[in-house]
Structure 1
């Protein structure tokens, strides 16, 4: 799905989560290097183990920081922590963001639900505005001439 120049189709990405995960990734890299350098008793196997563990944690931070929902006139691509889902607009029945939910939830036509981690409550008022923008996109793309 190609991005359009229309601001309605701007990606949905959390702000606070991206900042926190970037800081955590830097801390993990520095901490891993510090442990490897500061403990001379570690053998090569232990050093490789620490490096691999640090790399795994950094990968997880990157994945968390890269969650997003990418809208286009054709549909919505939702990239959550582990799974990326492509939806056509007609598959989305409603958008929910109430009751203290940590992120937006989509109700789908097949009866399933899908979390959209790209809009997170931690972003405060911005998150509410983004949830409304997503609900508006769903309404625009699912309206019919006679919307019963």
Structure 2
């Protein structure tokens, strides 16, 4: 398959990530500015405003973290609070069905892993293209004998 990308390749919801990071930075700046402009606040109260802004920014940074990295050695799925590396042979199927919030990977151990790095939120067609690319990569690198895949 000559249309497959050169590895490593990173899939992430770029528009969603940009929105989250810009919103987080804006919230932090606004809350910090308000804290500094309100003269009746004590230094402790100002610090609590800044801390709250930083906490909100941190939450949005975590929400912007998801990505899927495909490399020769396999796929690394980075979700909000976890990261997992999979060998190519562990991935049996890459699914993004209509209505799914993100890609699901069906694994050889019988479980399914959500891959939040490919999500149709703001850029649906981009997510569909990314899911197709990841599916093609997984199929090109997996074991093609069904009896070996189940073992």
Provide TM-score, normalisation by structure 2: 0.85
Secondary structure class of the residue paired with 1:138 = helix
Moved more, 72-81 or 29-38: 29-38
Distance 2:95 2:8 in 1: 19
Query: In structure 1, what is the equivalent of residue 103 of structure 2?
Result: 104
Name structure 2 gaps, 5 residues minimum: none
Report the CA distance between 1:64 and its aligned residue: 2.1
8 Å contact 2:7–2:72 — kept in the other structure? no
Kindly indicate whether residue 44 of structure 2 is the aligned counterpart of residue 45 of structure 1.
yes
**SS of alignment partner, residue 78 of structure 1:** strand
C-alpha offsets along residues 19-45 of structure 1, whole Å, 9 cap, x if unaligned? 211221222122112221232222222
The answer for the alignment partner of 2:79 in structure 1 is: 80
Q: What does residue 142 of structure 1 align with? A: 142
Aligned-partner Cα distance in 2 for 1:109–1:41: 61
Superposed displacement of residue 52, structure 1: 1.5
Moved more, 118-127 or 30-39: 30-39
The TM-score, its normalising length taken from structure 1, stands at: 0.87
Distance 1:14 1:28 in 2: 21
Q: CA deviation at 1:9?
A: 3.3
Q: Between Structure 1 and Structure 2, how many residues are aligned?
A: 142
C-alpha RMSD over aligned residues: 1.6
Show the 5 A alignment for 1:1-148: 7-122=6-121, 123-144=123-144, 146-147=145-146
